[in-house]
Structure formats: C-alpha cells, structure tokens
Structure 1
C-alpha cells in the first residue's frame, strides 16, 4: 500500500511542478521578455552544474536510511543526517559567495545580452547565487525522506511551496516590480521556506532526534559517496555540456528558445523522477534481503509500465510538437523555432529516462564504479560530438547530439549492467521490457499522426488527438505488464463483489 501511495504522491508532485513551469512561462515571457527568460534558463543550467558540490551525499543518505531501516540502525542514520545538515549549510554559504563574486565577469564576458544592460545581468546573476544557497539543502532532506519511504510528505511540501512561489512571482511581476531581479528574490524566499519544512519532516521521519553529530561516521559512507560524487560530476557534464556551450556560442534570445524546448521536454520528468525515487529504495531493500527473484520480477514489471508511459508521452511531443508549442505559447513564430529542437531533445531524454532502471540497480547493488565508468566513456564520445555539432549547427546541433548520445547510452549501459550486475537486466531486458513496449505505443501514435496530417486541424484539436493517442498507447501497453494485469483483475473482482447484480 505504501509503495502505491508513494508512487502516486511522487507522480502528482512531478505533474504539478511541470504544470507550474508550463503555465508560468507565458507570463514570464510577457512580463520579462525572451532575454530575461534566457537568464532564467542560465540559472537552471547553473543550478544543475553546481550539483557537483553535492559530492554524492544526497543519494548516499537516501541509501543509508533505507538500509538502516531494514537492518535496525536508525540511530546511525539519524546521526549521519544531522552531520550532513551542517555540511550542506556551509556549502550553501560558499555557493552564494562564489557566485556573487564572479557575477560581474559572467555579465560582461559570458552571457551575450543585447537588450538588458550589463549591470542588470550582473545583479541577476548575484541573486542567482543567493537563490542557489537558499535551495541547496533541499536535495539532502528530500533524499532522507525518499530513503525513509516518505515521498508523500516531500511531495506535499514541494507542491504547496512551488504553487505559492509561482503565484506570488506572477503577482509581483504583474502588479509590482517587473524585473528579473524581483523574480529571483521571490524564488529565494520560497526556497528557504521549503528547506525549513523539509528539514523538520526528515528528522521526524528518521527519528532519534537526540542522535549526536558524528563527523567520524562520514568515513564509513565516504567510499560510496565519493563514487556518487564522480557519477554526479560526469552526469552533469554529460547532460549540461550542450547548454553551457550554447550559452556562450549563441545569442541570449536563441538560447532562450533552446531552454524553452528543454523546459517542454522536461515534462518527461513527470514520470522519471518519481519512478526513480520509488524504485531505488525498493531495489536497495530487496537486495539487502537477498531476495533476487522478487527483485528481478519487480525490475521487469516496473520497467514495462514505465517504458509504455514514457514512450507514449515522448511520441506525443515529438510528432505533434508544433501544435503543442503554438497552443502553449500562443506564438506561432516561437513554435517554428522550438519545434525541431523539441523533437530531437525528446528522443534523447526518453532513452535516458529508461536507463534510470539499470542505474538504480547498479547503485542498489553497491556498484557505483559501473555508472562512473559508463559516464566517463560517454563523455569521451560526447565532448567532440557536442562541440562539433554545436559549432556547425548551433542550437539544432546541440539537440541532435543529445539524441545520438541517448542511443549510445541505452545499448552500452544495458550490456554492461547485464554482464556486471545482474543477468536479468541485460539485452533480454532491453528487448523484452523496453523495445516491445515501444512497438506497442508506436502504433496508436502513428495513427494519431496520420489523422492530423490528413486533416488540417487547429492546434488545440491536434493536441487533443496527440493526448488521445498517448492514452490509447498507455492503456494497450499496460496490458503487457503482469503487475498491471493483476491490479486490473483485483479491481474487477472487487467491483463484481460490490455490484453482484
């Protein structure tokens, strides 16, 4: 019951966060302009890049708390959480200081603004540093709640705070100060509020509130954490390199278009983030018990359900992107610029999404060296690929590199996981639990494309067709999962007992 509740809560949180971003974007474009939105995009990239300073501690504490609950070592987990809280506070201060100091250089030499004054850009970057510091400990306390299987509490906090933040930000921009600086000030305040609430919830979930600080205990988790830090660093370089390069190589307006496409594709996180937050502690628990048979079954069933959902959503975006963007922004000119970017980015993002399963399995088995080695290998290929394509084709080149590298990661990661971690996660898993669901959802997606191409439909109508095709794909594809079939049969039996006539 708790597993299903956690999945539902985490999924609801992701849906709400994506909807907030999608609904708020037209207001930001109206009140701030495309260059200012480019600054918001740069902030998002900077936030992702600075995650290397996490040193792998957030996923480490999640794994430690999940393992501690299974082995009855909660007090040690509570002590680790309190100790890491102090470390995160120190890192937050360091982040704010560093970003504030280099902000003038970024405004003058890195970001290529045309309409915004250099001083405004520099001040906005300074406020980015303050915002990052206020939000920095969020990942630690969310990781603690994930490890304690308390995703519902983390999700409720995230949804409440982010909805209030979006409403307040739009209100300030509409009736108060229309400035990118006002945007970051409001966001920083709500970020700090979220940290405070999550901290209380995390300590309550772990218990043992009188557990002492123990910096010596960090040595116990340092080995796993160090590898996680390496994974985080290489992953961030791999996922953010295109954005970092494009922020330097193209003008701020074009970069705003690229980040707008990234935002739309981030809708896949509605499925990816909550699924990982559920499967990772579950994989860890089953591995700690030594129940490999149940782990293999759970791995296969959840992979099939996830693949059906993520591919259905990805195909809806890729095949109907121009209509969706036009309906979303009410700007056909923006849709023309963004459509090819979204179509390419969504391919790479969908393939990376399904690789969360091998990645979570590698971590649950305590094999962080494997994803680190995979990331290093991908970077060797990614760096020249992204640089060459970005230099020759600009934004389109960056999106194309993401699609190509996603395919490489899918096959290389699957082969390595099957050979080095668990045989049930190898090529057979890829064919049976990933490619078959893709083939299933592809049929209604192509039918939807044929309908919209054969008839000239307004954007809202084409979007509805895309959504209907995705829903049909999910409904048909879900029947491929034994777990989904069992749940449907249970529901039907209960319904028949309640309605005998």
Structure 2
C-alpha cells in the first residue's frame, strides 16, 4: 500500500504542475498574445486529442503487458514491435497534417489578415512528438516506476512553460516562438523517456533473443478493440471544439476553451488516481485474483468519488467568482456571463466524464473493450445530431447540453456493466456506498458550507477549501460507520 500511495502522490505532483501551468499561465498567455492567439494554442490540444487515434491502444497495451509477471525480455520484445509501428504511424500523421495545413488553417483557424498554415505545421510536429513519447511513459508506469515517469514529465512541463515565458521576454511574444519551444522540449522528452525505460528493463544484449516477430494474439485483440475506442473517444471529446472553431470566431473559440479548461478540472484531478491503479488492476487480473480486484475497484471508486463530487459542486457554485479572479482582468465584463454559464454546465458534463474513469480502466484491465465501444457508438449517434440541433438553435450556449447528456449516459452504462458483470450480488450495496451516498453527502455539505461562508464574505478559496475538506471528512466518517471501522480511521479508505 505504501508504494501505491507514493505512486499516487507522484501522479498528483505531475498533474499539479499541469494544473498550475493551465490555470496560472493561461491569463499570462492571453496577456501576451490575446484571446484569439490563445484560441490557436488551444487548437494544439484538439489536434493532439484527434491524432491520438493512431495510438490505437498501443500505449495502454504497453502498460498492461509491462505490469504483468512476464520477463523483461518479453516486455522489450513487445516494446520493440509496438515502437516501430507507432513511429511509422506518427510520422505518417505528421506528414498528412503538414500537407493539409492550408485547408486546416482556413477551416478551423481563420484569422483576418493572417495565414496560420505554418502554425498548423508546427502544431503537427509538436503533437506527433508528444504522442510518440506516450509509449515510453506507459512502459515506465507498467513497470511501477511511476515516480520516475512522473518526474520526467514534471520536468518536461516546467521546461516548456518557463521556456516559452523566457523566450517571450528575451525574443518576443508570438505563436511561432511558442510552438518552436514545444517542439524542442518534446524531442528531449522522447529521448529521456526511452533511455529511462530501456535502462529500467536492465537487459543484457548478448542474452536478448527475439521471441516473436508479431504481437501475441491477446495483445492484438486488445489493440484492435482500442482502435475503435480511440476513434470514438476522439469524436465524442473533440467534436464540440471543432464545431466552435469552424462555425464561430477564434475569439469565441478562445472563450470556450477557457471555460472548458476550468470545467475539466475534475478530470485533471481524477486522472492520477486512475493512472496509479490501472497497473494494479492489470496485475490482479493477470494473477486471476478476482476477489481482490473487485475489492480494490470498490475502494478506489469510493476514494475517487469523495474527491471529485465535492470539487465539481464547488466549481458549479463559485464559477462566477473563480472566473473573475482567474481571467477577469484579461476579458471584457460582457464576456463573463457567457463564460460562467459555460463553466457551470460543462462542469456537470465533466463530472459525469470523470466518474467514468475508474470503471473504464477497470474494464481495460480485464481486457474488455466491447462495452466502451458500445457506449461510444451510442454517444456519437445521440451526441452529434443533438449538438447540431443545439448549436443551430442556441449558438455557443447550446453546446453544454449534449455534453452533459452523453456523459451522463456513459457514466450510467459503464457502472451498470461493471456492477452486473463483476460485482454481481454486491452491486446494489456498492452503488449506494461508493456513488449515491457520497454524492448526497458531498452536494448537501458543500452547498450549505459555501452558502454560509459566502454570506459572511469569506474569500472563495477559503469557502471552497473548507467545503471540500468537510465533505471529505464526513464521507469518510459515514463509510467507516457503515463498514464497522473507527469513525476517524482515515487509513480505512486505503485498505485495498
């Protein structure tokens, strides 16, 4: 358990810097470049998300196989094959994006008096390098070298953020400088991650014999299922941003990106938990320890939910004040009501998205991809027509509605699948203990505490922190009461 907590802490340290770089430096980027240029920077994340389709489950396959009890020579053989495939796919996508850059810039990044084709080409190189690094990061995570993997990523995040700011000060602030810095730091990231992974495998070259020239059938089957999941996920997650960037101005896209970044905070906070426990889920599955796997899933789900639900409630209640503190000085007052509206309802959708993460990784650890494919197909069939209707009728304000609906449906579906297929008879009890009760306690406590402290004019940071902490404590007390532990036994939530 100690190792798990250390890994979790390292994941949070890595994501904490991601949090800092997003929520602290977005106002700085807007101040240097303006809202329109920030919209172009946000498009980097959109392109990265879309081209991640070519990953096709390769990175998660590396994590899964490296978490198994097979020899390091077997693991290197897996890496050797996947590495070659992945490199060719990333190179192909990069060339395609470079060729199509004028069309992409015209449709999605149109700016009066400026051709963004060259910027799109820089984005293409940057995202493909960053994408290629994921297989090495995933390998370190699978080997349970999460502290090392996160230390490298943390250093990368710090270097690219402060590198950009330093260049802005010394050379000048423009988009070309921003993306040159991203490319340079991404090249270094790939080199360092690969070197670290191969070193940790500790192979003796004279003893290495390739065991197979193609991936084993179970790995191929897993990757094949993940191809569909990757395509479906990219469509579901990035359709709204593509619609905004093509149908509305870059300024509108920049505003929407600001709202989306704040609303995605629950996912940012929750992802380290999932990344820490995915290798554990995979190991328990490979050992056929089904009872331990199910128990771990329930405990992790409870821990995840008592953190995420209070956080989402705080964002919803304090959206206006948070935005005023965060980016208020960089925007017109007339834009804040729209931003507040978008944050509130995108945050609800983000909550349902984040609450899918643990069931999603649990199913992947069990080698199950078909349920996520079913879920994603339904999301596309419902979400895209609904998005078109809402945008046509309500404009930008209509976008959060389909986002909330499809993520609510996915959240319900994945939890029902896990409950009926794996938890079985214990499902109703676990549903109440890990989701329903924490949600009721968290929403009630946070709403009451925020209302009281705001009435007495406490700073939003204080009221939010107190509300989240109190909800967390009361959830732990109630869980201990139901499970027969001492009321203030905090360690009970880590009994995996």
Q: What TM-score comes out, normalization by structure 1 length?
A: 0.90
SS in 2 for 1:217: coil
How do residues 452-463 of structure 1 correspond to structure 2 at under 5 angstroms?
454=455, 461-463=459-461
The one-character-per-residue Cα deviations of 1:5-52 (angstroms, maximum 9, x if unpaired) are 111111111111111111111110011111111111111111101111
Distance 1:487 1:194, change over 3 A: farther
Match of 1:150 in 2: 145
Alpha carbons of structure 1 residues 486 and 299: separation in structure 2 relative to 1, 3 Å: farther
CA contact (8 A) 2:316 2:347 kept: yes
Secondary structure of the residue aligned to 2:360 is helix
Matches within 5 A, 1:98-497: 98-114=96-112, 117-119=113-115, 121-208=116-203, 210=205, 211=208, 216-220=213-217, 221-331=219-329, 333=333, 334-423=335-424, 426=427, 428-451=429-452, 454=455, 461-481=459-479, 489=489
Deviation at 1:424, TM superposition (A): 6.3
Q: CA deviation at 1:468?
A: 1.8
CA contact (8 A) 1:88 1:136 kept: no
The answer to whether the Cα contact below 8 Å between 2:226 and 2:369 also exists between their aligned partners in 1 is yes
Q: Provide closer, same or farther for how the CA distance between residues 176 and 488 of structure 1 changes in structure 2, counting only shifts above 3 A.
A: farther
Contact 2:454 2:463 in 1 (8 A): no
Shift of 1:300: 1.4
Partners of 1:489 and 1:411 in 2: how far apart? 31
| Shift in Å, 1:428 | 4.3
**Following the alignment from structure 2 to structure 1, what is the Cα–Cα distance between the partners of residues 315 and 324?**
12
Q: In the alignment, is the contact (CA less than 8 A) between 1:80 and 1:214 conserved in 2?
A: no
Counterpart Cα distance in 2 of 1:485 and 1:179: 58
Deviation readout 1:338-389 (Å, 9 max, x if unpaired): 1111111111111121212221221122121121122112221112112211
Q: For structure 1, which runs of at least 5 residues remain unmatched after alignment?
A: 493-501
Note closer, same or farther for the CA distance 1:134–1:178 as it changes in structure 2 (3 Å cut).
same
Deviates more, 1:79-88 or 1:4-13: 79-88
Distance 1:484 1:36, change over 3 A: farther
**Distance of aligned partners of 1:109 and 1:290 in 2 relative to their CA distance in 1, 3 Å threshold:** closer
Give the match for residue 76 of structure 2. 78
Kept in 2: contact 1:271–1:306 (CA 8 A): no
Q: 1:33 to 1:422 in 2, by over 3 A?
A: same
**Aligned residues of 2:19 and 2:268 also touching (Cα < 8 A):** yes
Q: Give the Cα separation in 1 of the matches to 2:422 and 2:388.
A: 33
CA distance in structure 1 between the partners assigned to 2:268 and 2:106 by the alignment:
36
Q: SS in structure 1 opposite 2:414?
A: helix
SS in 2 for 1:320: helix
Paired with 1:439 and 1:490, the residues of 2 have a C-alpha distance of 20
Listed one character per residue, the Cα deviations across residues 195-252 of structure 1 (whole Å, up to 9, x for unaligned) are 1111122222333363456773325321111101111111111111111112111111
Contact 1:414 1:426 in 2 (8 A): no
2-structure distance, mates of 1:209, 1:410: 46
- Looking at structure 2, the residues matched to 12 and 374 of structure 1 have their Cα atoms a distance apart, in angstroms, of 32
Whether 1:32 aligns to 2:46 is no
Q: Are the aligned partners of 2:476 and 2:490 in contact in 1 as well (CA < 8 Å)?
A: no
Within 1, Cα distance between the matches of 2:81 and 2:202?
Answer: 14
Tell me, in whole angstroms, the C-alpha distance in 1 between the residues paired with 2:41 and 2:423.
Answer: 42
**Cα RMSD (Å) of the superposition?**
2.4
Displacement of 1:320 in angstroms is: 0.1
Would the aligned equivalents of 2:56 and 2:226 in 1 still touch at CA under 8 Å? yes
Unaligned runs of 5+ in 2: none
What is the number of residues matched between the two proteins? 483
Q: Is the 8 A contact 2:478 2:487 kept in 1?
A: no
TM-score, with length taken from structure 2:
0.91
SS of equivalent residue, structure 2 residue 172 = coil
How has the CA–CA distance of structure 1 residues 441 and 83 changed in structure 2, closer, same or farther, with 3 Å as cutoff? same
